[in-house]
C-alpha cells in the first residue's frame, strides 16, 4: 500500500488533534490560515509539493467547519498543472471547496475540456469526476457532446466510460436539453447491452433519470432492462467480483427495477411474463439470513421488487402476496425491516385497492406508533393517516389522541394536524368531531394552529344541532383548573354565540357563564381579549330578562378597556359600550353569526400543500403523479384481451341487450338461457340486461308491481335502444366511422357499476383514450377528478366534455383543454353538490377527434345516491324510538319485492354495507332479517337518518319484504327504490375469460357501436 | 440520488464531507450541525433511517464513526445502507483494518476512494476489486511522478555543483 505521507500535513493534523479545547483549536487554525495565505501571496514560485500541501491543509480546515475564503484560485489553478499528482489535488480540492455556482469554476472550463478531449485516460477520469460531482449549467452547455462521445466510444476503457455516463447524468440534471440529440435513445438502448457491469450500473442510473422525464422515447430500453434483471436474478454469467454477499449486484438489480417503474405499462406479453416470473422469484425466494449485509442487500432487492409489482398492478394474487409479505415485515423485531414494511404499506395504499387487507394489520401498526424509535413512529403515523376511513376513523383518531400526550415535541404539530384532518374527513357524527378537536386543544394546545379551531367554529355555526352540545362541552373544559389559551378562544366564541341555549341547565346561567369566562381574562394574551369582549356583549344581549348586575359588571369592563393601548381591544370596547346603550338595535347587530359558506377545509389544503412541497424535491413528484395514474390503471381483469367472444345470434334476439354488452359479459349463453327459462320472472335479473336497464329506466315505471315493472322496462328498453342508436348515429357521428374505428375496451356498464362502489378507477377506455375517475365524497359534496389520458403518440384534438346533470345535482366541471398532447394525461376536477335525494344519473357527454375520426360517448358518472350516504351504527336504544316515530307512509314505506337475485344473507349484508348502508347486527331477533341504518346528506336539509329493515323468507330467497323509514318522504322512496334496484340486479363481478363452451372465435366480431347504449339512454332521460 | 455523504465521529467531529447537490458553505455548516445532533443522539438498536427536511438520511455506526448518506424520500434505503458498508469494506481493504485515525490522517485518500465509488450522487462501481485496482494505479502514478521529480532534481543538483 502506498502511503505517500506528507509530513507537514500530518504534523498539522496532529497538532489540531492535540488541542485541548475549541479555543485552542481556533487559534491553531487561524495561525495556519495566516501562514498559508502568506505563502500563496508572497512566494512567487511555490514548489508543486508545497502548493499541494497547502491546498490539503486548507481543505482539512474547511472540513472542520471553518470559513476558508481564500486560496480557491490556487486550488483551481492546480487543475492546469501538467503532472498527475498536482492535477489530482487540484481537481479534488476544487470539487470539495466550490459548489456549482462558484465563479471560479467557469475559469476552469477550458482546461477541463482539454483534459476530457485529450488522450490521457487518467486526466479524462479526473475531469469527468469533477464535472460529474459539481458541474453546473455552463458545463452542461459546453461539455455535453464531448462527454457523450466518450460514453459511446468503443476505444475508451470502461473506467472512462462509466464516469462519462454519470457525468452525463449530472449534466442532464442541469440541462435536460443535452440529450435532445437525434438517435440518442437508440444509443442509450445499445448501452444496455454493455458487458462491463460497472459501465452498465452507471448507464442504468443515467437511464433512470432519462425515463423519469420521458419514458416514451425509451421504450426500446424496456425489454433490455427486463433481460438485465433476469440475468442478474438468475445469476447468469455474473462475474464473482460483482456479487455482493452472494447476491448478483443488488444495486444494479434495484436500479433496473427502478427504471422499469417509470414505464407506465408493459405491453409485450412475453416481456411481461418474463418480468413477472423474475419478480415472483424475488418475492418468494428472499429468506431471512443471519448475515446482516446479505439480508439488507436481498431485502433492498425485495422492496424494490414490491414497488415494481405495485406499479405494474399485477394480478390480485401477487398483490395479496405483497401485502402478506409487508404484513410479516411490520411485525418483525428488526427495526429496518419494520420501518420499510410500514413505509411500503403506505405506498401500497396509494396505488391499489388493498385497503381492506391492510386494515387487518391495524393493531400491529398501532403498536409501532409506540415504538422507541421516532423514525418508525413517523412511518406508523403516516400509514395510519393514509389507511383511515369512515370505518376505522374512531379507533385511529382515539389512538392518535392517546399518543399525543406522550409524543415528542417534534411530532406533536404534525400529529395534531393529522388527527384534526381525519376527524373532519371521516367523522361519523359531528359531536364526535367536536370532542376530538376539543381534546386536541386540551392536550396539545401549543401545537394547534388557528386553522384547527376556526374550522370547529365553522362546523358548530353551520349545524344547529351541534350548538348546544358544543357549548356544553366547552363549558366542561373551562371548569378545569388549567386551560390552554386556544381553549379560551374557542370557548369564548362558542359560549358567546350559543350559551343561551344552555340557560336552563344548572350552572349555565348567563352570569355563571360570564364569570367562568371572565376568570380566564387575566391569564390570556391581547389576541384573546377581543374574543372575550365579544362574548360578553353577546351574553349580555341574550340575557332575558335583563340582569342589571351583570350589565353593570360588563359595562364596567368595556369602560376599563376603552382606553386600552391595543387598538383592537379598544375599538371593541368602545363599540360594544356604545351599542349596549342603543337597546333594541343591539339585538340586530349582535345577532347570531350567519352560516359560513361551505368551503374546502384549509387544513386539508394545508396538508396537500405541504405534500406538494416535499414533492418538489425530486423525482418524488413525478412518481407520485405516476402513482395516481396507476390508480387509474386498476381495471377489471378481463379488459381488452379478455373474452370478446362473438355473440350467438339467437341469444341476441332473445335477450335484446345491446350487443357490446353481451359480447363482454356473456360467457356461456346456456347459463343465461336456463335462467331465462326458469320461472324467476320474465326477465332475468342477472346482469347485464336488467342491471343496466332497471337502473336507468326505473323511474319510468315505478309504480307497477315488480314483475310488471321489469317487464315494461324491458320492453321500453328494447324499443328505445334502436331509437337511441339511430339518433345518436345520425346526429353526431357518421355511422360507418364510428362503428369501424373505435371500440371501447372493457364493459362500460361494468366499469360504471364498479365505480358506484369504489372511488377510483377507469370510467371509459378505448384504443386512444383512457378516462379515469377519482372521487372524494364528504357529506353532500363530491369532488371528482376526471383523468383524460391520451394513449397515443399523436395528440387528441377537439376534446369536449359536457356534463348533463340531473335536476338534483349541482355540478361544475373545470375547463377541459381542447387538445390532449401525446401520451399526456390531463386532470379535470368536477365539483358535485347534492341538492335532493334522487336516483337520476349524471351523464358526461364526451367527444374527441383522432385523425379524421370523431368519437363521441355518453358516460354515466358514478355520482349516485349511495355516494351521499354515510354509514352510521345505531344502537337499540336509538333505533326503536326513531323507528316508531316514523309512523307510516309517506315517511315509512313497505314493499314486497319479488325477483330478487338469490343470495345468502351475509352476502346481502355485505352488499348493503358496500353501499354505505350499515348493518346493525342484533337489533332484529329474527336471524332472517336485516336491520341497517345510514345518513343521507344533501344541501337542502341537515343529515337525515334512514332506517332499513329487510325481512327475508328462508324458503324462497327470491322475494323479501323491505321497510324503509326516514324523515323525508322523497328520501324514503328514492332510497327504497335504490336498494331494490341493487337487490334485483347485482353488478357483475369480473369474470374469467370465456370458458371452452364459448363459440369459436373465428367468426368476425360484430360491429359494435362505441357508445354505451345505456349511457345514451341515460342522457336522453335526464 | 445521494445528496451528500457525511462522516462524523461520536464526538461530533467531521471526518469527511462530500456534497453532490449544491449547498452553500453556510448551508453545509448548518446541515452538519443539525444532522450531527439528530443522529448522534439516537440510541443503539434503532433503525438506520432518519427523516430529515423532506429527505432521508441513511446512517450506520462503525466503531466511533457514523457514516451518513442523505437521499431522496423515495430512494431505496437498504440499497444505500449497503453502499455505506461497501465503502467501509473498501476502506478496510485499502488501509488494512481501517480505523478513525487512518481516515483522519489520510482523509485525502478517503476522498479518492469515494470518488471511485460514487459519482454524481450515484453508485459508480460495485466491484471492490476494480476500485482497489484503480486506486493502486493512481498511487503508482503519484509515486512515479515523485521518483521522476527527485531524479530530475538530482540531475539538476549534480549539474549545478
Mean pLDDT per 10-residue segment, chain B (161 residues)? 94 92 88 92 92 92 94 93 95 91 91 94 94 92 81 71 61
**Contact flag B126-A293 (C-beta cutoff 8 Å):** no
Separation CA A827–CA A787 (nearest Å) = 5
Strands A781-790 and A769-778, sheet pairing? antiparallel
| Residues of chain A with C-beta less than 8 angstroms from the C-beta of B94 | 1
Q: Are A801 and A844 in contact (CB under 8 A)?
A: yes
- pLDDT band for position A26 (50/70/90)? very high
**Contact flag B125-A201 (C-beta cutoff 8 Å):** yes
Q: Dig out the grid coordinates for B33 from the structure.
A: 450541525
Residue B13: closest C-alpha in chain A? A64
Separation CA A786–CA A825 (nearest Å) = 10
- pLDDT band for position A47 (50/70/90)? confident
Which of A500, A481, A480 is CA-nearest to residue A550? A500
**If you average pLDDT over residues A275-283, what whole number do you get?**
91
**Residue A8 is labelled as binding a ligand:** yes
Selection from A363-372, A780-789, B74-83 with the highest mean pLDDT: B74-83
Interface of B with A in 30-89 (CB under 8 A): 32, 42-43, 45-51, 54-55, 72-74, 76-79, 81-83, 85-86
Please give the residue that has the higher pLDDT: either A1016 or A919: A919
Please give the residue that has the higher pLDDT: either A644 or A538: A538
| Residues of chain A with C-beta less than 8 angstroms from the C-beta of B125 | 162, 198, 201
Burial of A734 (0-12, 13-18, 19+ CB in 10 A): exposed
Residue A56: closest C-alpha in chain B? B108
Quick one: residue A235, left, alpha or beta (phi over 0 = left, psi -120 to 50 = alpha)? left
Residues with Cβ within 8 Å of A198's Cβ and at least 6 positions away in sequence, in order, are A158, A159, A162, B124, B125, B126, B127, B130
Residue A519 scores a pLDDT above 80: yes
Residue A602 scores a pLDDT above 50: yes
- pLDDT band for position A607 (50/70/90)? low
Separation CA A780–CA A1004 (nearest Å) = 47
Please state, as a whole number, how many other Cβ atoms lie within 10 Å of the Cβ of residue A270: 10
Note the pLDDT of residue B57: 96
Q: What is the ipTM of this complex?
A: 0.94
Q: Mean pLDDT lowest for which of A330-334, A353-357, A465-469, A1001-1005?
A: A1001-1005
Mutate to test the interface with A, among B18, B44, B78, B81 (most CBs of A within 10 A): B78
Separation CA A40–CA A686 (nearest Å) = 91
Interface of B with A in 81-110 (CB under 8 A): 81-83, 85-86, 94-96, 104-108
**Residue A54 is labelled as binding a ligand:** yes
Note the pLDDT of residue B8: 94
- What are the tens digits of pLDDT across the range A49-97? 888 888 999 999 998 888 888 888 888 888 888 888 889 999 999 988 8
Percentage of residues in chain A having pLDDT higher than 90:
16
Residue A399 scores a pLDDT above 90: no
Residue A626 scores a pLDDT above 50: no
**Contact flag A60-B124 (C-beta cutoff 8 Å):** no
Residue A785: strand pairing partners: A774, A829
Strands A918-919 and A929-936, sheet pairing? antiparallel
Chain B contact for A275 (CB, 8 A cutoff): no
Full-model pTM:
0.63
Residue A441 scores a pLDDT above 60: yes
Mean pLDDT estimate for chain A: 78
Note the pLDDT of residue A734: 35
HEC profile of B21-60: CCCCHHHHHHHHHHHHHHHHCCCCCCCCEEEECCEEEEEE
| Residues of chain B with C-beta less than 8 angstroms from the C-beta of A335 | 45-48
- pLDDT band for position A614 (50/70/90)? very low
A–B interface: beta-carbon pairs under 8 A: 195
CA angle A818, A824, A827 (to 5 degrees): 65
- What are the tens digits of pLDDT across the range A872-882? 888 888 888 88
Note the pLDDT of residue A5: 64
Please give the residue that has the higher pLDDT: either A114 or A637: A114
Q: Mean pLDDT lowest for which of A309-323, A620-634, A893-907?
A: A620-634
Selection from A595-604, A893-902, B145-154 with the highest mean pLDDT: A893-902
Residue A52: closest C-alpha in chain B? B108
Mutate to test the interface with B, among A25, A50, A72, A374 (most CBs of B within 10 A): A374
Mutate to test the interface with B, among A58, A242, A415 (most CBs of B within 10 A): A242
Q: Are A791 and A845 in contact (CB under 8 A)?
A: no
Chain A contact for B16 (CB, 8 A cutoff): yes
Please give the residue that has the higher pLDDT: either A409 or B141: B141
**If you average pLDDT over residues A890-903, what whole number do you get?**
83
Mutate to test the interface with B, among A85, A101, A171 (most CBs of B within 10 A): A85
Chain B contact for A252 (CB, 8 A cutoff): yes
For A150-182, the DSSP string reads HHH-SSS-HHHHHHHHHHHHHHHHH-GGGG--T
Separation CA A732–CA A350 (nearest Å) = 39
Q: Mean pLDDT lowest for which of A25-29, A179-183, A1012-1016?
A: A1012-1016
Q: Are B69 and B60 in contact (CB under 8 A)?
A: no
Note the pLDDT of residue A608: 62
**Contact flag A296-B85 (C-beta cutoff 8 Å):** yes
Cis peptide before A688 (omega within 30 of 0): yes
Q: Write the CA distances from A1005 to A741, A870, A996, integer angstroms.
A: 13, 44, 18
Percentage of residues in chain A having pLDDT higher than 70:
81
Amino acid at each position: 500500500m502506498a502511503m505517500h505521507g506528507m509530513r507537514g500535513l500530518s504534523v498539522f493534523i496532529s497538532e489540531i488533534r492535540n488541542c485541548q479545547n475549541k479555543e485552542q483549536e481556533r487559534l491553531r487554525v487561524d495561525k495556519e490560515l495566516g501562514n498559508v495565505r502568506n505563502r500563496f501571496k508572497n512566494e512567487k514560485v511555490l514548489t508543486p509539493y508545497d502548493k499541494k500541501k497547502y491546498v490539503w491543509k486548507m481543505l482539512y480546515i474547511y472540513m472542520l467547519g471553518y470559513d476558508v475564503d481564500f486560496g480557491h484560485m490556487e486550488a483551481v489553478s492546480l487543475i492546469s498543472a501538467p503532472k498527475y499528482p498536482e492535477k489530482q489535488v487540484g481537481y479534488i480540492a476544487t470539487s470539495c471547496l466550490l459548489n456549482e455556482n462558484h465563479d471560479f469554476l467557469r475559469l476552469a472550463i477550458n482546461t477541463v475540456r482539454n483534459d476530457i478531449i485529450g488522450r490521457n485516460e487518467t486526466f479524462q477520469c479526473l475531469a469527468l469526476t469533477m464535472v460529474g460531482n459539481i458541474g453546473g449549467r455552463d458545463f452542461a452547455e459546453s461539455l455535453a457532446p464531448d462527454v457523450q462521445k466518450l460514453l459511446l466510444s468503443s476505444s475508451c476503457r470502461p473506467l472512462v466510460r462509466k464516469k462519462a455516463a454519470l457525468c452525463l447524468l449530472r449534466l442532464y440534471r442541469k440541462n435536460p436539453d443535452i440529450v435532445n440529440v437525434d438517435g440518442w435513445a437508440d444509443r442509450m438502448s445499445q448501452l444496455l447491452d454493455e458487458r462491463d457491469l460497472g459501465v452498465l450500473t452507471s448507464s442504468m442510473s443515467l437511464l433512470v433519470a432519462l425515463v423519469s422525464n420521458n419514458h416514451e422515447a425509451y421504450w426500446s430500453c424496456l425489454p433490455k432492462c427486463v433481460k438485465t434483471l433476469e440475468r442478474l436474478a438468475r445469476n447468469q454469467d455474473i462475474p464473482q467480483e460483482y456479487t455482493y454477499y452472494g447476491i448478483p449486484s443488488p444495486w444494479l438489480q434495484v436500479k433496473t427495477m427502478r427504471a422499469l417503474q417509470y414505464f407506465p405499462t408493459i405491453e409485450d406479453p412475453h416481456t411481461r411474463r418474463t418480468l413477472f416470473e423474475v419478480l415472483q422469484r424475488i418475492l418468494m425466494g428472499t429468506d431471512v439470513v443471519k448475515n446482516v449485509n446479505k439480508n439488507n442487500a436481498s431485502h433492498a432487492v425485495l422492496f424494490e421488487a414490491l414497488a415494481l409489482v405495485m406499479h405494474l398492478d399485477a394480478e390480485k394474487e401477487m398483490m395479496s402476496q405483497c401485502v402478506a409479505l409487508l404484513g410479516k415485515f411490520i411485525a418483525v423485531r428488526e427495526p429496518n425491516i419494520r420501518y420499510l414494511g410500514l413505509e411500503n404499506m403506505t405506498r401500497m395504499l396509494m396505488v391499489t385497492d388493498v385497503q381492506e387487507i391492510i386494515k387487518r394489520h391495524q393493531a400491529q401498526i398501532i403498536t409501532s406508533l409506540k415504538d422507541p424509535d421516532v423514525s418508525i413512529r413517523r412511518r406508523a403515523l403516516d400509514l395510519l393517516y393514509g389507511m383511515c376511513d369512515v370505518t376505522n376513523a374512531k379507533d385511529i383518531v382515539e389512538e392518535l389522541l392517546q399518543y399525543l400526550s406522550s409524543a415528542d415535541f417534534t411530532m406533536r404539530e404534525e400529529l395534531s394536524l393529522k388527527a384534526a384532518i381525519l376527524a373532519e374527513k371521516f367523522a361519523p357524527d359531528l359531536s364526535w368531531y367536536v370532542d376530538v378537536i376539543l381534546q386536541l386543544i386540551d392536550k396539545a394546545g401549543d401545537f394547534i394552529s388557528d386553522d384547527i379551531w376556526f374550522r370547529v367554529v365553522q362546523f358548530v355555526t353551520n349545524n344547529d344541532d351541534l350548538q348546544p352540545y358544543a357549548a356544553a362541552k366547552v363549558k366542561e373544559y373551562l371548569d378545569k383548573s388549567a386551560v390552554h389559551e386556544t381553549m379560551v378562544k374557542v370557548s369564548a366564541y362558542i359560549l358567546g354565540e350559543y350559551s343561551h341555549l344552555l340557560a336552563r341547565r344548572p350552572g349555565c346561567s348567563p352570569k355563571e357563564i360570564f364569570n367562568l369566562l371572565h376568570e380566564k381574562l387575566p391569564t390570556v394574551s391581547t389576541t384573546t381579549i377581543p374574543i372575550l369582549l365579544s362574548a360578553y356583549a353577546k351574553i349580555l344581549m341574550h340575557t332575558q330578562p335583563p340582569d342589571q348586575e351583570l350589565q353593570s359588571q360588563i359595562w364596567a369592563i368595556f369602560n376599563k378597556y376603552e382606553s386600552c393601548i391595543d387598538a383592537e381591544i379598544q375599538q371593541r370596547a368602545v363599540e360594544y359600550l356604545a351599542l349596549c346603550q342603543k337597546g333594541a338595535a343591539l339585538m340586530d347587530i349582535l345577532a347570531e353569526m350567519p352560516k359560513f359558506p361551505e368551503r374546502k377545509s384549509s387544513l386539508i389544503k394545508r396538508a396537500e400543500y405541504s405534500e406538494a412541497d416535499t414533492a418538489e424535491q425530486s423525482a418524488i413528484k413525478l412518481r407520485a403523479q405516476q402513482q395516481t395514474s396507476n390508480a387509474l390503471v386498476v381495471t377489471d381483469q378481463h379488459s381488452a384481451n379478455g373474452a370478446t367472444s362473438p355473440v350467438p345470434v339467437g341469444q341476441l334476439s332473445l335477450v335484446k341487450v345491446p350487443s357490446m354488452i353481451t359480447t363482454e359479459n356473456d360467457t356461456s349463453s346456456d347459463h343465461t338461457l336456463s335462467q331465462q327459462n326458469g320461472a324467476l320472472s320474465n326477465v332475468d335479473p342477472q346482469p347485464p340486461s336488467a342491471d343496466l336497464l332497471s337502473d336507468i329506466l326505473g323511474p319510468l315505471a315505478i309504480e307497477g308491481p315488480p314483475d310488471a315493472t321489469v317487464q315494461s322496462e324491458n320492453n321500453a328498453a328494447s324499443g328505445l335502444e334502436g331509437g337511441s342508436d339511430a339518433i345518436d348515429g345520425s346526429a353526431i357521428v357518421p355511422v360507418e366511422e364510428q362503428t369501424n374505428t373505435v371500440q371501447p375496451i372493457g364493459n362500460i356498464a361494468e366499469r360504471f357499476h364498479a365505480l358506484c362502489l369504489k372511488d377510483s378507477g377507469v370510467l371509459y377506455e378505448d384504443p386512444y383514450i383512457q378516462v379515469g375517475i377519482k372521487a372524494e365524497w364528504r357529506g353532500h359534496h363530491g369532488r371528482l377528478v376526471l383523468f383524460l389520458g391520451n394513449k397515443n403518440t399523436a395528440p387528441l384534438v377537439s376534446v369536449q366534455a359536457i356534463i348533463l346533470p340531473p335536476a338534483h345535482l349541482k355540478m361544475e366541471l373545470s375547463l377541459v383543454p381542447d387538445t390532449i398532447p401525446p401520451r399526456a394525461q390531463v386532470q379535470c376536477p368536477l365539483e358535485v353538490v347534492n341538492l335532493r335525494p334522487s336516483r337520476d344519473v349524471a351523464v358526461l357527454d364526451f367527444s374527441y377527434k383522432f385523425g379524421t375520426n370523431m368519437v363521441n360517448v355518453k358516460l354515466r358518472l358514478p355520482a349516485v345516491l349511495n355516494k351521499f350516504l354515510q354509514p352510521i351504527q345505531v344502537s337499540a336504544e336509538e333505533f326503536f324510538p326513531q323507528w316508531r316515530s316514523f309512523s307510516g307512509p309517506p315517511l315509512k314505506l313497505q314493499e314486497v319485492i319479488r325477483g330478487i337475485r338469490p343470495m345468502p344473507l351475509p352476502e346481502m349484508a355485505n352488499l348493503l354495507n358496500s353501499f354505505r348502508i350499515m348493518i346493525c347486527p342484533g337489533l332484529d331477533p329474527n336471524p332472517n332479517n336485516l336491520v341497517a341504518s345510514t345518513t343521507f346528506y344533501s344541501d337542502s336539509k341537515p343529515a337525515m337518518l334512514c332506517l332499513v329493515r329487510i325481512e327475508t323468507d328462508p324458503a324462497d330467497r327470491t322475494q323479501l319484504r323491505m321497510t324503509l323509514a326516514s324523515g323525508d318522504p322523497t328520501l324514503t322512496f328514492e332510497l327504497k327504490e335504490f336498494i331494490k334496484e341493487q337487490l334485483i340486479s347485482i353488478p357483475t363481478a369480473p369474470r374469467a375469460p370465456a370458458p371452452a363452451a364459448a363459440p369459436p372465435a373465428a367468426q368476425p366480431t360484430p360491429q359494435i357501436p362505441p357508445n354505451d347504449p345505456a349511457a345514451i339512454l341515460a342522457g336522453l332521460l335526464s | 440520488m445521494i445528496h451528500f455523504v457525511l462522516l462524523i465521529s461520536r464526538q461530533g467531529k467531521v471526518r469527511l464531507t462530500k456534497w453532490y447537490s449544491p449547498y452553500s458553505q453556510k448551508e453545509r455548516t448548518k446541515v452538519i450541525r443539525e444532522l450531527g445532533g439528530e443522529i448522534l443522539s439516537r440510541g443503539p438498536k434503532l433503525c438506520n433511517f432518519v427523516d430529515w427536511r423532506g429527505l432521508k438520511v441513511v446512517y450506520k455506526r462503525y466503531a466511533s464513526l457514523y457514516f451518513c448518506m442523505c437521499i431522496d424520500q423515495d430512494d431505496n434505503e437498504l440499497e444505500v445502507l449497503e453502499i455505506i458498508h461497501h465503502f467501509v469494506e473498501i476502506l478496510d481493504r485499502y488501509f488494512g483494518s481501517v480505523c478513525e485515525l487512518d481516515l483522519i490522517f489520510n482523509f485525502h485518500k478517503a476522498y479518492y476512494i469515494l470518488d471511485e465509488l460514487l459519482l454524481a450522487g450515484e453508485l459508480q462501481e460495485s466491484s471492490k476489486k476494480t476500485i482497489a485496482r484503480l486506486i493502486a494505479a493512481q498511487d503508482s502514478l503519484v509515486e512515479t511522478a515523485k521518483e521522476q521529480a527527485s531524479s530530475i532534481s538530482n540531475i539538476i543538483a549534480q549539474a549545478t555543483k
